[in-house]
A = this chain, B = another copy of it.
Amino acid sequence: MPRPGREGGRRGRTAGSTTEAPAQAFITRKIPPYEILSDADLQIIEYNADTILEEIGIDIKDDPDAIATFVAAGASADGERVRFPRGMCREIIQKSAPSMFTQHARNPARNVVIGGNNTVLVPAYGSPFVYSREGGRRYASIEDFRNFVKLAYMCEGLHHSGGTLCEPMDLPVNKRHYDMLYSHIKYSDKPFMGSVTAPERAQDSVDMAKIVFGHDFVEENCVLVNLINANSPMTFDSTMLGALKVYARHNQAAMVSPFVVAGAMSPVTSAAVAAQSLAEGLCGMTLAQLTRPGAPVIYGNFVSSMSMQSGAPTFGSPEASMVINVGAALARRLGVPFRSAGGFTASKVPDAQAAYEAANTLQQGLIAGVNFMLHTAGWLEGGLAMGYEKFVMDADQANMLAVYANGVDMSENGQALDALREVGPGQHFLGCAHTQANFKSAFYRSKIADNNSYEEWLEDGALTAEVRAEKLYKSMLATYQPPELDPEIDERLISFMTAKKTSFPDSNVA
């Protein structure tokens, strides 16, 4: 048998070990995407999405401007119900939406490339509560928000500072976006997300980004990724579309993510969820392209199934895994980056349920080829709580995803035939040259897992993973060092916020 060529194979190869602990701004997957559906099946789902767009239509609520834009591009409107000729949305998106783009961070070493073989891992988003062993479950505050910015900054497996890490419930609803944005900029130098809760808050986000990056830079580059949810089924409202248009106008990314609890906001079957979600995504991304051709967009799905017992959303389920997998394949076929989740769970505490569900979702997200993995770390209670312990546990898993994504090292060093020759049958490899040379970088080392003997573990206090995670996040916060921020920029941000905050009254109406 001839020796097969060493240079073949579909993945890039490096001379050194590829199993080092991750220290990169984002993941570039050397493993192929896993696809559970054939092209023929994916085509059926695309066809059904177009049937939804053409025949059933999408309701565009309270946004005559968006309706007019769609109609000018070839859609028809019947009141707020907009219908799109088959193929129209796909054509518009494929004509101008980038398949890959860079989101810039204020520290260029933290820039992330979104799309293609890249995966960006992003903290959880949007919870009104926080959970910790120490404090139990309580309303989140701006102090919590800052803490999670700091933790995300310190977790090398997380590539992004995220957006609404938790809702600072101690600040007025209509002004809290200022402090959230400022915290992202001040306490981290990773990329972050803008506000989407009102068009004017989207504009504030762009304006604050311009203080950091400069006006012209923002107009030509993506510095904000922004979460635009559809009101599934088949509905968009003027709040979300208003924010989308602001961001698109300024060349900032709209991540159009239908939010579906299957059984309530969609049929219960996965093929239907996938088609509906795609139809909604196509509609939103089309508006971004019509607003500014070439504005970056991300197709997202957020899918949960529904508990028979309580009607509550469930997570980490096999049905959700399938929809993530199919969504990623549909995005690749469309030619846009894909967003999905994440460390999902319905558990109230960081117990075994939380971990099984999170791991199931994280694993599926990685192999499906998700480009922007929102909710990677911290998610508890179906997104109602951000967990301190869960955050660092999930971040530990994030590190492992990066190692797995690097694939098998097929270099000479990885093949290690000389080590096998040197040691031989019946001996151990602990002291051989290859082991000595590779040991430090050979295996991912978790800071949370306990691999000691039972007796050592007892001696260490018989701690659960939750308690070890508590120690870890506390020690991280205690040793946090902020990245440098140009004092002039800092001052201008503070002046901007102060002027804005005093220009209109506080309100807690969302």
Contacts and interface: CB of A to CB of B under 8 A. Distances in A.
A311 B325 CA distance: 37
B272 A416 contact: yes
A413 B269 contact: yes
Given A4-B43, A38-B11, A404-B321, A308 B359 contact: no
Interface stretch (A205-213, A247-255, A348-356): A348-356
Contacts of A50: 1
Contacts of A34: 34, 367
B268 A56 contact: no
A405 to B, nearest CB: 8
Contacts of A457: 348
A400 interface: yes
A421 B56 CA distance: 6
Interface in A414-453: 414-417, 419-421, 423-430, 432, 434-435, 438-440, 442-446, 448-453
Nearest to A350: B352
A330 to B, nearest CB: 12
A439 B263 contact: yes
A97 to B, nearest CB: 19
Interface residues of A, number: 143
A180 B309 CA distance: 39
Contacts of A434: 267-269
Interface string A296-332: 0000000001111110111011110110001000000
A419 B457 CA distance: 55
Interface in A379-437: 381-382, 384-385, 393, 397, 400-401, 403-404, 407-410, 413-417, 419-421, 423-430, 432, 434-435
B439 A268 contact: yes
Interface stretch (A139-147, A458-466, A486-494): A458-466
B233 A268 contact: no
B347 A454 contact: no
A235 B426 contact: yes
Contacts of A414: 269-272
Given A38-B9, A59-B425, A47 B1 contact: yes
A469 B352 CA distance: 10
B318 A415 contact: no
Interface string A353-387: 11111111001100100000000000001101100
Interface of A: 1, 3-6, 8-11, 17, 19, 31-32, 34-38, 40-41, 43-44, 47-48, 50-52, 55-59, 81, 86-87, 137, 231, 233-235, 262-272, 274-276, 305-310, 312-314, 316-319, 321-322, 326, 346-360, 363-364, 367, 381-382, 384-385, 393, 397, 400-401, 403-404, 407-410, 413-417, 419-421, 423-430, 432, 434-435, 438-440, 442-446, 448-454, 456-457, 462, 464-466, 469
